[in-house]
Structure 1
Amino acid sequence: MKKMLWLLPLLLLHCGVYSFRSGSLPPEIKTVYIPIFESELQGEETNIDIKERITETLQEEFTRTTRLTLADEENSDSIFIGSLRRYTREVANYDESENPIDYKITLIIKCEFTNLVADQVIWQQSGFASFEFYEVDESQDDLGEEEALEQLIDKAARDMVIKATENW
């Protein structure tokens, strides 16, 4: 056991610190323009005002986790465009009486991050998917779905920034 203790500092020294900071972004990109997402959602889904919320959360995530600052379209080095393609809510599990126990909500997004200086697409995905689960609580009506949607938006924004700014 004592022999292994001396390995711990050595191991920690070699592990380093991992960060999702924009290490893979081209150096000429210093700003990003993120217009409000388009929406292809139909019917009841349009009652959930997701496009403004995902856009705002994505803007916050870019400025919080990368070196990029927000800019308007005319003064930007890059642009991140998104379109909401689908929002679904489906029962994930039932109890013994066939009553829903929890639901799964899924958001499908088409997105593209472009280097405007080099006129080059950095990352794009036509079916970026993110999902979240929530339990049925009849006393809270749609509050469970609303909280899950907020978590889903946060997770989707975080994952999109990681995918767009890191070369995997």
Structure 2
Amino acid sequence: MRLILAALLLTGEGCRYYSTTGRLPAHIKTVYIPTFENDTAEFYLPQLITDQVTERFLSEGNLRLGESESADAALIGRVRRYYEEAETYGRGEALNVSGRRVTIVLEVEFDDRVEGKTLFQNRNFSRWVVYEPDKEAEQDAAIRVVTLLADDLISSILQQW
């Protein structure tokens, strides 16, 4: 029992000091993040995604925003697809959709401009959520997807396996 307790305490201590600091090359201090381009009809998505990603990158990555020409790194993105489709069906004689899925697909690239290297690239970075149309608006579900995308994108860029 004491051995298990000691292991749990040590595990907890290790997690307490987890940080993403130092995950990027030391020379990267500034990042340029232009507004994501948009291949969809959802006009509000590019700015919303850019704002969420920028906020998380600055807080998690300990970076400052840089200008287009002088930044040490750049995160370039495009909203490639947005779709909403039936996910779950209720019971009964009539076709009854009880849940719908909102999916957003991004193309993203994070470049080290100092060394001229691409550090992260994904042409199909996607996340989705299921929502109930009678309880939540589609746009609110899309905002939840954007939050997931921003969190997961920053984690993917900053993590080292």
Q: Secondary structure of 1:108's partner?
A: strand
CA distance in 1, matches of 2:79, 2:148: 15
CA distance in 2, matches of 1:89, 1:48: 15
**Contact 1:29–1:77 (Cα < 8 Å) also in 2:** yes
Q: Secondary structure of 1:73's partner?
A: coil
Q: Secondary structure of 2:104's partner?
A: strand
Aligned to 2:123: 126
**Contact 1:20–1:166 (Cα < 8 Å) also in 2:** no
**Contact 1:22–1:166 (Cα < 8 Å) also in 2:** no
Aligned to 1:107: 104
* 1:167 partner letter: Q
Q: Equivalences for 1:149-168 in 2 at 5 Å?
A: 149-168=142-161
Q: 1:94-126: CA deviations, max 9, x gaps? A: 112311101001001000000001010000001
CA distance in 2, matches of 1:134, 1:7: 41
Gap change, CA 1:48 and 1:145, over 3 Å in 2:
farther
Identity fraction in percent: 31
CA distance in 2, matches of 1:30, 1:117: 11
Q: 1:80-104: CA deviations, max 9, x gaps? A: 0001110000000111231110100
Return the structure number with greater helix share.
1
Gap change, CA 1:132 and 1:14, over 3 Å in 2:
closer
| RMSD, aligned CA | 1.7
CA distance in 1, matches of 2:19, 2:152: 10
**Contact 1:23–1:166 (Cα < 8 Å) also in 2:** no
Aligned to 1:38: 37
Per-residue deviation, 1:75: 2.5
Per-residue deviation, 1:9: 3.1
Per-residue deviation, 1:167: 2.1
